[in-house]
Chain A
Amino acid sequence: MTKTRLFYTAITILCIVCSIASLYIQNLYLLRVFILAAITAILALSVNILVGYTGQISLGHAGFFGIGAYMVGILNVNYHISFWLCMVIAVLFSGLMGLILGLPTTKLKGHFLGIATLGFGVIVNGVLNNWMQVTGGPQGIRDIESPTLFTIPLEYGNFFLGFIVACLSLLVLVIYLLIKSPIGRAWSCLKQDEITAYVTGIHVYRYKLLAFTISGSIAGFAGSLFAGYMTFISPDTFDLNQSISIITTVILGGSGTIAGPLLGTALLAFLNEWLRNFDELRLVIYGIILVAVIVFIPEGIYPFFKNKVISIFSKRKKASQPNTSIEPHAGKDAVNE
């Protein structure tokens, strides 16, 4: 027990250090990369709730991201509502959209769910692009107010990064608590076996809807942060490519773990910067790497290395003390089969 407590204290300190350190980054370009990576990390966490913990595919998450961002943009620019209130409304509204998307799609499975959620993304993008009076069409929305937090102007990148790292840490904590709670247990049960979930009295549809709602609202939160940071939004940020890149981030990092999506975000952000050296071939190489990782490490990078480390350690243990627990059952199993 003390070990875990030590671990959490370490992580908390790390988060605080990150938040403070972010105030001292001088390079503006680097700052921007970090902020966008943090927003992507929030998105990845939100997709992970569906893909990793509940076993539902979402290929339309850019839709929620866009809804969050546009909610802030429209309310702030057209109706002059303060940024923070806009953010609350955006989170609630995208959560509601998650619920609405969930209502018909919780009955679907696998590929059908993938295509339905993809359709959701396409519909949202189509509306953003074409409902000129409200969304401004392809030109998007300009001059969104930069938020101010208790007199700290977040238009300075350093402050914004500090704020966003704090948000991210808080979110990780919330998700961790959820996953370890009976809700998380119910999710993992219905992910692995719905029939088991039925007979243990888990209201499967309600829990799926809950996952859709939470996931949608977190993505909307990421969207409102994006709008607040960029102060300019246009539909092409929220297209199919975005949805795909979010889900690949999660899967590459390792879905169903908390560290996985974060690691995936970090790796892909780094990869993206590194690939800038290759100019036009950038996305070609990106595609190759994507396929290569899925072919060679389908379970994701984080679980892969974690298992590697565990197996190294357990080998050592086995070497020191001959295994006692496995032997008697080997024979029994053979009889049963």
Chain B
Amino acid sequence: MTELIQIIVNGMANGALYALIALGLTLIYGVMNLSNFAQGEFAMIGAFGTYYFMQMHMNYLMAMILSLIVAGLIGFVIHILAFHPLRKSEPLNMMLSSLGVSVLLVNLSQYLFSPNPKVVSNSFSEDSIQAFGVFLSQQRILIVIVSLILCGFTYWLLERSKFGRSVRAASLDPDTATLYGIPTNRIAFITFVFGVALTGIAGGLTAPIYNVYPTMGISLTLKAFVVVVLGGMGNIPGAIMGGFIVGLIESFSAGYVSTAFQDVIVFSALFLVLIIKPEGILSKVQGEKV
């Protein structure tokens, strides 16, 4: 019984992380119609940033904030160079461009930081809480809390604020939005930087649990895509739900089948969902985005 609870708890913790990355992904998809395959790389940037800032004897929180700013800045530059010029072109081209960015970032960081994994330790990561026989590191609790807060904040931003209204307008119909004086290009910029910065935070959060290495982003990108498809593209509550589902599937398959087949099982689940409900589990009935 405790084993089961342990599995569920671990799954939820990972799921919150995936939800956070997927949140950035789904925002960017919604506004720019871009499947950003370089999303996980920004988590990698966030993680490396956290590592190097902590090497400079900053505390964990400070390092995270700085590295999220770094991720945002890099995102800004990349958006100008790789995505902004393609805004009128086919979505497939943008996607390929993001693949190129992914190759570039992974290998650049391999060149700069060497492929060897780096270990980040902060005050949280060693301690863990034990309750009812279930172990949970404080870092994981931190991940869940921060992720949920950020998801909630983003949701509030989109649904309640004036800025969010323009974002939603721009994602539903960019042309009409432009006619009504909404600066769609600027919104695409802000969304991209914001989405990428969120992922940067996720990277900073994982750094103390998993090691930091240049190719860490790839599997995170894949997971985030599964989450987004499960939850429905461009759907924030869906992304959170999808994140937990993927986290749970993963920890259950690690617990009961084998760690090696984790990815296979996650993607098989994805197939299952696509067959049964191609628009994602939580998506409302709506026409496809043309």
Contact = CB atoms under 8 A, between A and B. Distances in A.
Contacts, number: 121
B82 A295 contact: yes
Contacts of A111: 29, 35, 91, 95, 233
Interface residues of A, number: 39
Interface in B26-61: 29, 35
A305 to B, nearest CB: 18
A116 B280 CA distance: 12
A294 B98 CA distance: 10
B110 A119 contact: no
Q: Is the interface of A mostly helix, strand, loop or mixed?
A: helix
Nearest to A255: B92
A290 interface: yes
A52 to B, nearest CB: 11
Interface stretch (B6-14, B100-108, B132-140, B188-196): B100-108
A142 to B, nearest CB: 21
A126 B97 CA distance: 26
A291 B271 contact: no
B272 to A, nearest CB: 9
Q: Is the interface of B mostly helix, strand, loop or mixed?
A: helix
A283 B107 CA distance: 6
Nearest to A286: B103
B66 interface: no
Interface string A274-292: 0000001111101110110
Contacts of B278: 107-108, 112
A291 B107 contact: no
Contact of B229 (A104, A112, A126): A112
Nearest to A107: B278
A244 interface: yes
B214 to A, nearest CB: 11
B90 A126 contact: no
A244 B99 contact: yes
Contacts of B102: 287
Interface of B: 29, 35, 81-82, 85-86, 89-93, 95-97, 99-108, 110-111, 218, 222, 225-226, 229, 233, 258, 260-261, 263-264, 267-268, 270-271, 274-275, 278, 288
Given A127-B264, A130-B258, A290-B97, 14 more contacts: A104-B271, A105-B274, A112-B274, A116-B270, A122-B222, A130-B264, A244-B103, A284-B111, A287-B100, A287-B102, A287-B104, A290-B99, A294-B93, A298-B90
11 contacts: A114-B35, A115-B226, A115-B270, A122-B264, A123-B268, A248-B99, A281-B107, A283-B107, A284-B111, A291-B100, A298-B86
